[in-house]
Structure 1
């Protein structure tokens, strides 16, 4: 996949695997990017030479704009809808199953599925401009697939606030207070220094100990393969409504 259509790349160095994604529309997530992310995370997860994983996106202002509106509006059947939203499920499940600690580099705003990626990471380090919004209800669906990951990280009350008030941004400081972000830095340089420090420490730590910690962190999510598939089916059905199609078109026009 070339830069015009986005990419997922992997770089390994000294036991640290950096997975980067990019899409020209504010790092949105079409099916190909989701597939590439799920495959990259899975492959790095089973690589014995990889001690820790950094998940990041390209650019400076937006970490991830969530689902691709172009692909959402093109969905014609429930099967197509479930297949698209299952892409988010595959990424989240790959992140929870990887035995390595995953650090998320959140350099800018997070919307929808982007919030899900931040929540599914084991440790998210962000900048002060990394505001968050779950916009799904505003386009006639809901954060059903990413919901379990977000709720697990910030608990039900904060998740429900994001899911209900879908047009309102919550500042990065709010996200840190609720536990979505482990650290918040005023500048990108400070964020990157902290990520490098932590990734280096983890790359030199006990692999077996980190694997056991990961099991503890994700205890109780063993049913997520089936749960997230069912959630994808809900979204896949809702996205077909005429009202949702209209909302999505409105959002697309606002972004132009």
Structure 2
């Protein structure tokens, strides 16, 4: 695909996705969401990709929110469809990605931007990052899974406070709340993300995919997370990666996983 709003490249088995609208603080519009959907979906089928890194262009913003001008005149049905399409095609797709996804938060992550980061499996923030869900100042609530994922990550009380007040919080506060995994100087942001991804690349791809499925099942009220874990654990025994991992362990060498 010829991306217009994203910079997309694969390097050393990592797919780098940069939202490239710095003049708009990388705000999410329909085109960005459509391109994100394609990039994430393609990564699932690409055997070369072992991990995904999502960040924003420039030094000011990861994603400063959604492009409000696109939906300012929507009615009830159009608003519901907007949320449904975004959740199913982009945010849920990222959360359920079989390839681990890291958000490198390089500045403002507000509204849809924070929702995008929360859909990723791991979040790393630069020291200058500011995070928040300001939707109630527009007469809205988060619509891309933000009410659910924020409460899962920081607890119900903290989620209510952030959503009710619409306040931004600093990176260090986000770290204390468990909203991000690490906070580093801006200059070291991608380096830190790459170090984590370099470790992930060495692990069994099929096992990583099973781990994503099992962990996410624990937050799905329609599923029994323990049962999903048992099923995925069993599936691992039917993979070449399991045989390679055990053989390597017994032979006291590093495993060479092929993802099958």
TM-score scaled by length of structure 2: 0.78
* 1:236 aligned residue: none
* 1:16/1:50 contact within 8 Å kept: yes
* 1:198 aligned residue: 196
In structure 1, runs of 5+ residues without a counterpart are: 225-256
Inter-partner Cα distance in structure 2 for 1:178 and 1:171: 11
Task: State the number of aligned residues.
Answer: 219
* 2:209 aligned residue: 211
Choose 1 or 2 for highest CA Rg.
2
Q: Which shows bigger deviation, 84-93 or 111-120? A: 84-93
* 2:11 aligned residue: 13
- Please report how far the alpha carbon of residue 17 of structure 1 lies from its aligned counterpart in structure 2 after TM superposition: 0.7
- Please report how far the alpha carbon of residue 134 of structure 1 lies from its aligned counterpart in structure 2 after TM superposition: 0.7
In structure 2, runs of 5+ residues without a counterpart are: 223-260
Q: Secondary structure at the match of 2:123?
A: strand
Change (3 A) 1:2 1:204: closer
* 1:252 aligned residue: none
Tell me the alpha carbon deviations over residues 139-191 of structure 1, each in whole angstroms, 9 at most, x when there is no partner: 0011143222222222212211111001x221111111111110001x22222
Matched, 1:41 2:40: yes
Q: 1 or 2 for the larger relative contact order (CA 8 Å, sep ≥6)?
A: 1
* 2:83/2:143 contact within 8 Å kept: no
* 2:154 aligned residue: 154
* 1:86 aligned residue: 84
Q: Secondary structure at the match of 2:25?
A: coil
Please provide the CA RMSD for this pair. Answer: 2.1
* 1:66 aligned residue: 65
* 1:249 aligned residue: none
TM-score scaled by length of structure 1: 0.79
- Please report how far the alpha carbon of residue 198 of structure 1 lies from its aligned counterpart in structure 2 after TM superposition: 1.2
* 1:63/1:108 contact within 8 Å kept: yes
Inter-partner Cα distance in structure 1 for 2:192 and 2:65: 25
| Aligned ranges 1:30-179 → 2 under 5 Å | 30-75=29-74, 77-89=75-87, 90-145=89-144, 146-166=146-166, 168-179=167-178
Tell me the alpha carbon deviations over residues 25-73 of structure 1, each in whole angstroms, 9 at most, x when there is no partner: 1111111111111221121123222111111111111111111111121
